[in-house]
Amino acid sequence: MAPTKWDAEWIKFAKTISDPPTLPDEETEAKRQIVNTILTELPRLLPPPPSNITTSPSFPSHSHLTPADPAVRSTEDLTLPSGPAVRIYTPTHPSSSPTAASPLILFAHGGGWFAGNLETEDRSCRILSSRTSSVIVSVDYRCGFGVPLQSMVDDLYAAFTWSRSNATTLGADAGKVVFWGGSAGGALIVALAYRLVQEGRGAAIKGLLCMNTIVLHPSATPEAYIHLMRSYEENDGPLPFVAGKDTLKLYKSRDLEPPNTPIALFPTAYGPGAMKGFPPTWIITSGNDASRDDGTVLEAVLRDAGVRVKMENVEGLAHYFWVFDLPKANERFWDAMVGGVAWVLGG
């Protein structure tokens, strides 16, 4: 897959911004806070999310949010027993089926495994919950420079177990559980799916939604798929949010460069044999993203493992482009995401 020219809407938008911000190289709390601020503030420049989100009436609230947009109602924040904090998004059901159980989507935010929280992708959760009538459980998994990736997967596992056990009370269908992850969060949901498949519980997952997912160090690409891993070279250079060197630093700083590539965290690196039994997986990539071909390789490995898989590549745009002021591109993106939910659910 060759790099693509920048989308015309992106070119127009890029003229309104300065050069991409330079983050400190040091792994400090200050860097984490800078990234969280960027991720939280950018969506506030976009149109408000849908308002047909209700609170979850079945669980006591630990705290209520007061959204900046008064048209968006509060959601429920809970701290799970022996687990992470979560935020539950409950959609307003269509009047034609007021009692229909919703799909249950477990969300793992992006942020390079060191940043991100319940606020940073709140807008995205509201949009997908509203447009798909899904209950979304966004997980505030432990993250930070000193937090092992396995601890993050453990938090998602605890949130999955609790959410599925309480699906009926949440107004969701325990038979329609979907894992959704963005960027580094995508790696975590793939690792979570691998864990459940190895436990013989893969059938509990209806599907995976992987957006701009980072799933393996490029040097850990299985030999048969090396020809597909080209984006770190083709899209090298400064880009908004994530350049190739930034992604590679995430592995180096955690001593996760090859050959230290645990199968429990990065099963894609072990080829089709490690991915057998995975649920249907829908992948969306960005043509000008350095990590674009993480998705390309993931799609090919899953297909060779006999897994039902579909990938869509959005040409001419960068990593996590939907958080920028790109109305046409964002509309296409959310239309694609809604289609992805329908596809993994078998619709």
Q: Where are the alpha helices (DSSP H) in the chain?
A: 8-14, 29-41, 122-132, 149-165, 167-170, 184-198, 231-234, 244-253, 272-275, 292-304, 327-344
Confidence category of residue 71, pLDDT binned at 50, 70, 90:
very low
**Domain parsing of the chain, residue ranges:** 8-344
Query: What's the confidence (pLDDT) of residue 34?
Result: 77
Query: What's the confidence (pLDDT) of residue 55?
Result: 42
The predicted-structure confidence for 244-256, as pLDDT tens digits, reads as follows 888 898 899 899 9
Q: How far is CA 68 from the centre of its chain?
A: 24
Q: How large is the average pLDDT for residues 120-148?
A: 93
Cα 3 from Cα 17, distance rounded (Å) = 22
The predicted-structure confidence for 2-35, as pLDDT tens digits, reads as follows 666 899 999 998 888 766 655 666 777 777 777 7
CB atoms inside a 10 Å sphere around CB 81: 7
Q: How far is CA 137 from the centre of its chain?
A: 12
Mean pLDDT check: name the lowest of 94-98, 113-117, 259-263, 320-324: 94-98
In percent, the amount of the chain with pLDDT more than 70 equals 84
Nearest to 202 by CA among 298, 301, 277, 302: 277
Per DSSP, the three-state class of 64 is strand
CATH superfamily of the 8-344 domain: Alpha/Beta hydrolase fold, catalytic domain (3.40.50.1820)
Q: How large is the average pLDDT for residues 35-50?
A: 73
Nearest to 129 by CA among 45, 49, 46, 210: 49
Distances 41 to 37, 68, 170, 306 between C-alpha atoms, Å: 6, 11, 29, 41
In percent, the amount of the chain with pLDDT more than 90 equals 64
Cα 44 from Cα 123, distance rounded (Å) = 9
pLDDT at 74 over 70: no
